[in-house]
Chains A and B, each alone.
Chain A
Amino acid sequence: MARLLLTNEFGLLVLIVAFAAIFYSLTPGFLSSFNQFALGRTAAVNILIGFSMMAVIVTGGLNLAVGAIGACAAMACGFLIEVAGLPWPLAVLGGLALGAGLGLLNGWAVVVTGLHSFIITLASMSIFFGAMIFLTRAESYRELPPGFSDFGRMKILGVISPLFLVAVAVGVALIVLYRFTSVGREMLAAGARPEAAELSGVRVGRIITLCHGLSGLIAAVAALLVVTRNGAAIPSMAGQLGQDWLLPAFLGPVLGGTLLTGGRVSVVGTFLGALLVTMLTNGLLLQQVGEFWIQSVLGLLLLLAVFMDKGRRAFLASRRMV
């Protein structure tokens, strides 16, 4: 019981409830159905971006190119609809495939060169984004079919955005992957101790490539959700080089207690972490805290999260030793 109360997930849940109560007491509009809908939509994207990074953090690596891959996937989807004239479901598949493909490319480069994924994805984020801007001439695709953009505006039961349900579905799929499939278990093993995994028959190179592919795929899902929300595929949706996604990408997993050295994940934690971040952002904006300061708050939040995580681990370790 005490152990349950010390889990990251429980802590996050407490924080979410506490902040929701505080924000509600300050601005009742916080729990209005409109705000809940908006919150769910934004949270969905943040959650998926977090999952995308988490899929690579599992291997002890990271993927700086999540934003760049997302932007590429979104633009590919827009291009396939507007220029190639494909029906939108096919275009969505095309965007997802490109995301996964770029991720696999990252993974392949990491495995073949034996270099850290930091430098590989730093380079590839520049290459992917530069190539995308070059090919699209930095123009947006705004003529999206109604069926596609309606998805972003749809309300289920008046408050829930289908985007949020997509994030939940991806979360469930990831839980199944890591807990109930051999590939998922191999990902965790390869991430925790590649040498040991290799000598136990895990094809570590393949598994790491796969992790990067998964990361690219989830980044593409996140990007496509942004496209339906905006009703347009915009090259700058994730900022210069996709850098704007980096902070949310790490906030979710780190708040959620995913080990940066690899080998352990918390899907629920990442989910709750991203939800908390979204809620804080939203609540502070409602409080008229200048939007420009939000970024500082998120930075402090990340610092706080890693400090608390360190403290919690030290506490657990000391208890175990007794």
Chain B
Amino acid sequence: MPVLSQVSRTDWFGPLLVTVAAIVLIGSLNPAFLSPFNIQILLQAIAINALIALSQMIIIAIGQMNLSVGAIGGLAAISFAGMMEVWGLPAPAAAVLALAVGLAAGLVNGVIIAATGISAFVITLATLSLYKGINLGITEAQPFYGIPEGVKAFGNAVFLGPVPTVFIPTAIVAVALWFTLSRLHIGRAILATGGNEHAAELSGISVPSTIVAAHAISGLLAAGAGILLVARLQIGQPSIGDDWLILSFAAPVIGGAILSGGHVSVAGTLLGVAIVAIITQALVLFNIDPYLVQVMLGALILWAVGINRLREVRLQRSAVRIP
């Protein structure tokens, strides 16, 4: 019993229940939902969206926001595709360089925010425009089509049963991020900065370098999502990233992240991504208007922040008396 109550207090328990319930419910209403092909589609979507969500989550952890996640992803995506098509670079080299582009973009965000102390919202709004402009300036809004076959194959191959290959990098990233946040000094410094910046600073944690590190990680993850999306779509679309913003906030928040910082959950965020993907998929399966996906995403965010708020209040109320 106490184990259960402890488990029920974790961030991932609620989302897990919702996920399982949704799978059971939708699967029983429409068995096609659980077909291997459908599961593969679902996991592909989850793999890429998870990187987008984690990219935002790491910034939420320091109590900031990153509006430029999509723009960084888009820029990395067209860099990846462009370097292969125009420069004829082999895919791995192009991928590494595209990741470097994302890292650099994240570093620029972080350095400006840390150095000026101006709100991350305004800075990343500005860099969103900057990065998107560079993207459009390079591509003139035309996609790169010359994606090598190997990359295309990677984007749609399965690795084990219905598990797609693109799931592998995501899984590695998720585990690494979890490890970083819970076991490495930098992870604890990120969460400490988000939890109480003043206290963190007094304790000798360098708040500026922590902020820069978080933004660098965010840029790297966004770039990763952009690269995977190119492989998956088999085309270097300049519009990649345009619709990431809502999702990037929805999943971490569903996963219990506190927007004021200091508390995020990798597992919760992954489940948040899964919930969004499952519901989106269900709308398609049941021939419900796909336009409603937007409405659903918005409603999910409101629902999740409402729940988190309640939990927060209850946590404060229960300031448990330790003997």
Contact = CB atoms under 8 A, between A and B. Distances in A.
B140 interface: yes
Contacts of B140: 290, 292
Contact of B130 (A123, A127, A246, A296): A296
A295 B128 CA distance: 9
A147 B129 CA distance: 37
B299 A299 contact: no
B259 A292 contact: no
Given A113-B309, A310-B118, A299 B291 contact: no
What is the interface of chain B mostly: helix, strand, loop, or mixed?
helix
A306 B292 contact: no
Contact of B299 (A127, A293, A294): A127
A125 B298 contact: yes
Interface stretch (A130-138, A161-169, A195-203, A204-212): A130-138
Contacts of A128: 298
A22 B265 CA distance: 53
Interface string A221-248: 0000000000000000000110100110
B125 A131 contact: no
Given A113-B306, A130-B294, A133-B294, A293 B123 contact: no
B298 A126 contact: yes
What is the interface of chain A mostly: helix, strand, loop, or mixed?
helix
Contacts of B296: 130
A114 B309 contact: yes
Contacts of A138: 291
Interface stretch (B160-168, B193-201, B238-246): B238-246
Contact of A294 (B116, B133, B242, B301): B133
Contacts of B132: 295-296, 299
Interface string A46-62: 00000000000000001
B126 A300 contact: yes
Interface residues of B, number: 45
Interface string B275-319: 000000000000001011111111101100110010000000000
B182 interface: no
A303 interface: yes
A115 B112 contact: no
A281 to B, nearest CB: 12
B109 to A, nearest CB: 11
Nearest to B296: A130
A109 B299 CA distance: 12
B273 interface: no
A292 B133 contact: yes
Which residue, of B130, B242, B294, B295, has the highest number of chain A Cβ atoms within 10 A? B294
B295 A302 contact: no
B121 interface: yes
Contact of A292 (B118, B136, B246, B291): B136
Contacts of B301: 119, 122-123, 126
Contacts of A118: 65, 121, 259
A113 B304 CA distance: 12
A126 B294 contact: yes
Contacts of A155: none
B299 A115 contact: no
Contact of B137 (A109, A120, A292): A292
B122 interface: yes
Nearest to B136: A292
A111 interface: no
A250 to B, nearest CB: 6
B305 A115 contact: yes
A306 B122 contact: yes
Contacts of B133: 292-299
A254 interface: yes
B55 interface: no
A310 B305 CA distance: 33
Interface string B205-242: 00000000000000000000000000000000000001
B126 A130 contact: no
B107 interface: no
B182 to A, nearest CB: 25
A271 interface: no
A154 interface: no
Contact of A134 (B118, B134, B295, B302): B295
B311 to A, nearest CB: 13
Given A113-B309, A119-B259, A240-B243, A295 B295 contact: no
A296 B298 contact: no
B309 A302 contact: no
Interface of B: 65, 112, 116, 118-119, 121-123, 125-134, 136-137, 139-141, 242-243, 245-246, 249, 253, 259, 289, 291-299, 301-302, 305-306, 309
Interface of A: 62, 109, 113-116, 118-120, 122-131, 133-134, 138, 240-241, 243, 246-247, 250, 254, 260, 290, 292-300, 302-303, 306-307, 310
24 contacts: A115-B305, A118-B65, A118-B121, A119-B253, A120-B302, A120-B305, A123-B297, A123-B305, A124-B298, A126-B246, A126-B301, A127-B295, A241-B246, A241-B294, A247-B128, A254-B122, A295-B129, A296-B130, A296-B137, A297-B133, A302-B122, A302-B129, A303-B127, A310-B116
Given A307-B118, A310-B116, 10 more contacts: A113-B309, A122-B246, A126-B295, A128-B298, A243-B242, A292-B139, A299-B128, A299-B130, A302-B125, A303-B130
List of 5 A-B pairs having minimum Cβ-Cβ separation, nearest first: A130-B294, A296-B133, A299-B129, A126-B298, A295-B133
